Amino acid sequence: MEQQGMPLSKVGINGLIARIANNTALKHRASVLGFNDDASAVLDGSKYRLLTNVLFLEGIHFDLIYHPLKHLGYKAVVAAISDIIAMNGCAEQVSVSVGLGQRMTLESVDALMDGMLVACKRYSVDLVDFRPVPSFTGLSIAVAMQGTVNRKNKVSRNGGKPSDLLCVSGDLGSALMGLHLLEREKRVLKSNDLTEPDFGINNDYVLERQLKPEAKTDVVETLKAMNLLPSAMINVKNGLASALWDLCRASRTGCRVHENKIPLHQGTLKAAHEMNFNPLIAALNGGDDYELLFTLPLSEHERITDEFPENIRAIGYLTAPELSCRMMNCNGEEIEIREIGGEKS
Amino acid sequence: MEQQGMPLSKVGINGLIARIANNTALKHRASVLGFNDDASAVLDGSKYRLLTNVLFLEGIHFDLIYHPLKHLGYKAVVAAISDIIAMNGCAEQVSVSVGLGQRMTLESVDALMDGMLVACKRYSVDLVDFRPVPSFTGLSIAVAMQGTVNRKNKVSRNGGKPSDLLCVSGDLGSALMGLHLLEREKRVLKSNDLTEPDFGINNDYVLERQLKPEAKTDVVETLKAMNLLPSAMINVKNGLASALWDLCRASRTGCRVHENKIPLHQGTLKAAHEMNFNPLIAALNGGDDYELLFTLPLSEHERITDEFPENIRAIGYLTAPELSCRMMNCNGEEIEIREIGGEKS
């Protein structure tokens, strides 16, 4: 059915979500909306039950040319766990539906599900349901992940206040550089008759970040051990820029980030150099990093910079909303952070 | 990536599910597997929290030529609610991910989501999350539905005992006859230059059953009012044959069904006659009826046949497992019920 009307690109992903969110009216007092968060929630006595719903589609979220099925299964589960972790929760149960195209065999389903089960084991999650359906349109993976968080420990995107410190875990942009390497070798293999891709020396890090990312349970545990409860937190899945904008929009703040504080891995810098790509752009607009961006009261600054492990970095602070999302670049100029992306979720 | 190996058709959908189920090991004591049920569950004090995960894919579960988007949104939510109801539960929250192809416009997303919100309102379910992602492969709809059921009221597929009565709600095969009508008119419109389909007179019932099915909350309420707790129950989504087999396999029983007791609507008989299709085959192997098949102790038989409303019918009883799933046909012959289907879920 050919549809007439406004292209979705004119509304944008945030506009589309806001439009639907505005039309909902809750009937159950325990329901907590997830439209502006990494998961929805249901209040249940002293805790919240969290739910996220991740859809991975062939051609958009993965390419079976270079995403091995076992890694892909692992990644789909990790992506959903990351949403639960970003609510400061603990992932517990996962229900998986898969649309299986003609090319899938018993062995390929085994590989996909092996990857999921390895991730489940690694993160102590129970695979409680598996629903295969046929597909005419390639592989589709729908992951419904449940978790819990104590009522007083739940962290949303909307709790940030001006002057709160902005912190980020791990490093950014690496998964995108891994993707670019994979895409490059796919093109080379297509145009030549080579049968082995050449990923260059020491590019394992960025490839692994793209193909087999991990959920940042260690970061959440570090914060817990330091008795620090973030005022706001978000799963960085579509690049730092979109995470900053989403967190600031939900918290009704702006932010100021220092370019030279944005964590970039040596492997990312090397791969970016090799491919003539700006690593800062990868950090801002790349996807699939699954790092955590969170905010803490300014009073904790000293303690944080002294006591934080290497995998957590303060990159800036929240500001008044009218100051927008801005970055102090390495030349001392303040520039607006553009929100692109939002094409993936 | 071309996969070598065993075609999935050799294993079948049940074989595939069993294979994955056998590889799972639960880590959380509260988790209850959903592999052999209509939903998974988490035990939570005096109740279970239920979760189902329905994936609707373009070309498999719907055809946008004749499934209007508003109806489709309604149907996707109803399909998921039906799973929760079949556990004797109450659906409460729904989280929706959609893969949106190039053809989708703002108006078409509005129509789809309007349908979902109408279903949410009708069945008192909260839409708590909406996650659009782009799609290269048409429209995909992933519905994660949560609900609850009191611990003592949860009904699974596995509680049936030999001699239990087998009952079914509503009527069967109507949604398939609706689908066949829609397919016929699609072919006619393609081969001619007609612009208006001709569905014949009085075929509204079967069309509505295909395009805008309802969840059988009334049946569950009737049973509750009669103080009847089914020993086993299942959502009839892929035809009576597959529902009988799934229920009997889970309960480790066989069954014996009387052909002349299988409820067929006048509209189904009429449409089947018009299209030269056997309505019994539609009832056994059709999909999308979303009726409830359930079992009750034999002692309730008299009460049931006396007091049951018209929309519940006893169609047979459970037997010892070695007797398999059999049907007494209208000629007095007993035949084995073949389990086909299982291609859809």
Give the tens place of pLDDT for each residue, A16-46: 999 999 999 899 999 999 999 999 999 999 9
What percentage of residues in chain B have a pLDDT greater than 90?
84
Nearest to B17 by CA among A64, A110, A32, A59: A110
What is the Cα–Cα distance from B112 to B97, expressed in whole angstroms?
Answer: 12
pLDDT tens digits along A141-181: 999 999 999 999 999 999 999 999 999 999 999 999 999 99
Residues A164 and A304 in one domain: yes
CA B11, CA B296: separation in Å to the nearest integer? 32
pLDDT tens, position by position, B230-272? 999 999 999 999 999 999 999 999 999 999 999 999 999 999 9
**Predicted confidence band of residue B217 (pLDDT cuts 50, 70, 90):** very high
Q: Do residues A124 and A265 both lie within one domain? A: no
Does residue B325 share a domain with residue B190? yes
> For residue A345, what pLDDT is reported?
38
Q: Clarify whether residues A251 and A332 are in a common domain.
A: yes
B-chain CB neighbours of A14 within 8 Å are none
> Angle between the B8-22 and A106-122 helix axes, to the nearest 10 degrees?
20
CATH for A255: 3.90.650.10
Q: Which residues of B touch A32 (CB under 8 A)?
A: 128
d(CA B74, CA A22): 18
- Please check the confidence at residue B3 and state whether its pLDDT lies above 60: no
Nearest chain B alpha carbon to A101: B8
Mean pLDDT computed over B57-79: 96
CATH code of the domain covering residue A145? 3.30.1330.10
Instruction: Check whether residue B139 and residue B279 sit in a common domain.
Output: no
Q: Do A17 and B344 make contact, defined as CB atoms within 8 angstroms?
A: no
Cross-chain Cβ contact B140/A57 below 8 Å: yes
The answer to whether residue B1 is domain-embedded is no
Residue B344 forms part of a structural domain: no
* pLDDT for residue A214 is more than 60: yes
pLDDT at B168 over 70: yes
Domain contains B6: no
Q: Tell me what the mean pLDDT of segment B127-134 comes to.
A: 96
Of A90, A110, A130, A139, which to mutate for an interface test with B (greatest number of B Cβ within 10 Å)?
A: A130
| Cβ <8 Å between B95 and A52 | yes
Query: Mean pLDDT throughout A223-238?
Result: 95
Q: What is the pLDDT of residue B196?
A: 73
Closest Cβ–Cβ partner in A53, A55, A133 for B344: A133
Q: How confident is residue B343, by pLDDT bands cut at 50, 70 and 90? A: very low
Nearest to B57 among A5, A61, A140 (CB): A140
Confidence of residue A1 (pLDDT cuts 50, 70, 90): very low
Nearest chain B Cα distance for residue A18, angstroms: 9
Q: Is the pLDDT of residue A278 over 70?
A: yes
Across the interface, whether the CB atoms of B16 and A105 are under 8 A apart is answered no
Mean pLDDT of chain A: 93
The mean pLDDT of B111-136, rounded to a whole number, is: 97
The mean pLDDT of B53-61, rounded to a whole number, is: 96
User: What is the DSSP pairing of strand A334-336 with strand B334-336?
Assistant: unpaired
Q: Please tell me which of the candidates A3, A135, A345 has its beta carbon nearest to residue B107.
A: A3
- Grouping H, G, I as helix, E, B as strand and the rest as coil, residue A205 is helix
Return the closest-CA partner of residue A30 out of A14, A42, A19, A18: A42
**Inter-chain residue contact B105 with A5, CB threshold 8 Å:** yes
Our CA-based measurement puts residue A266 at a distance from the nearest CA of chain B, in whole angstroms, of 31
Going through chain A in order, the beta strands assigned E by DSSP cover 31-32, 40-44, 47-57, 90-100, 126-134, 140-150, 165-169, 232-236, 254-258, 291-296, 312-319, 325-328, 334-336
Last residue of a domain, one of A153, A174, A199: A153
What percent of chain B lies above the pLDDT cut of 70?
A: 97
Among B132, B153, B174, the domain-final residue is B153
Structure tokens that stand for A292 in this block: 């955590």
Task: Give the pLDDT mean for A300-329.
Answer: 89
The last residue of a domain, from among B115, B136, B153: B153
Same domain, B149 and B186: no
pTM: 0.95
The residue range of the domain holding B280 is 157-336
Q: Considering the domain boundaries, does residue A136 fall inside one?
A: yes
Whether A149 and A57 map to the same domain: the answer is yes
Q: Looking at residues A77-88, what average pLDDT do you find? A: 98
Which of B3, B40, B60 is opposite residue A135, by nearest beta carbon? B60
Q: What is the mean pLDDT of chain B?
A: 93
Does residue A3 fall inside a structural domain? no
Residue A345 lies in a domain: no
A200 band by pLDDT with thresholds 50, 70 and 90: confident
Overall number of domains in chain B: 2
Q: Which of B16, B37, B66, B137 to mutate to test the interface with A (most CBs of A within 10 A)?
A: B137
Interface TM-score (ipTM) > 0.90: yes
In a domain, A297, yes or no: yes
Q: Are A100 and A68 members of one domain?
A: yes
Higher local confidence (pLDDT), B2 or A293: A293
Do A104 and B61 meet the contact criterion of CB atoms below 8 Å apart? no
> Chain A partners of B21 at a C-beta cutoff of 8 Å?
130
Query: What is the per-residue pLDDT for A194?
Result: 65
pLDDT above 80 for B127: yes
* Interchain proximity B5–A142, CB inside 8 Å: no
Mean pLDDT of B38-48: 95
A124 vs B27, B107, B144: nearest CB: B27
Within a domain: A164 = yes
pLDDT (0 to 100) of residue A187: 87
Q: Are B290 and B195 part of one and the same domain?
A: yes
Of B17, B93, B142, the CB nearest to A130: B17
With CB atoms and an 8 Å threshold, state whether B8 touches A109: yes
